[in-house]
C-alpha cells in the first residue's frame, strides 16, 4: 500500500477546495519509519485537527 505523492495531494486539495498542507502532513506521517518521529507527527496532526482557525492565511501569501 502506498500514499499519493505530494503533487497528487495538491491536485486532490484543489478539487476538494482544501489546504493541501493538511494532506501532505498525513503523507509525511504515513511515510515516516521512525516510531518516535511518527508519534510526534501524529501529535501535530491531532493539534491541527482540534485548532480553531480558518484557512484565510493560505490565500494571504498568494
| Residue extents of the structural domains in the chain | 6-53
**What is the phi/psi pair of residue 55, to 5°?**
-95, 10
The alpha carbon dihedral of 45, 21, 51, 1 has a sign of negative
Mean pLDDT of 7-18: 92
Judge if pTM exceeds 0.75.
no
Is the pLDDT score of 33 beyond 70? Answer: yes
Collect all residues with Cβ–Cβ distance below 8 Å to 13 and sequence separation of at least 6.
19, 20, 22, 23
The per-residue pLDDT for 18 is 85
The per-residue pLDDT for 10 is 93
List pLDDT tens digits, range 16-29: 988 888 889 999 99
Amino acid at each position: 500500500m502506498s500514499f499519493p505523492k505530494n503533487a497528487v495531494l495538491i491536485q486532490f486539495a484543489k478539487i476538494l477546495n482544501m489546504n493541501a498542507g493538511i494532506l501532505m502532513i498525513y503523507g509525511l506521517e504515513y511515510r515516516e519509519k521512525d516510531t518516535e518521529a511518527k508519534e510526534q507527527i501524529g501529535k501535530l496532526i491531532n493539534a491541527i485537527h482540534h485548532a480553531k482557525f480558518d484557512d484565510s492565511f493560505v490565500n494571504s501569501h498568494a
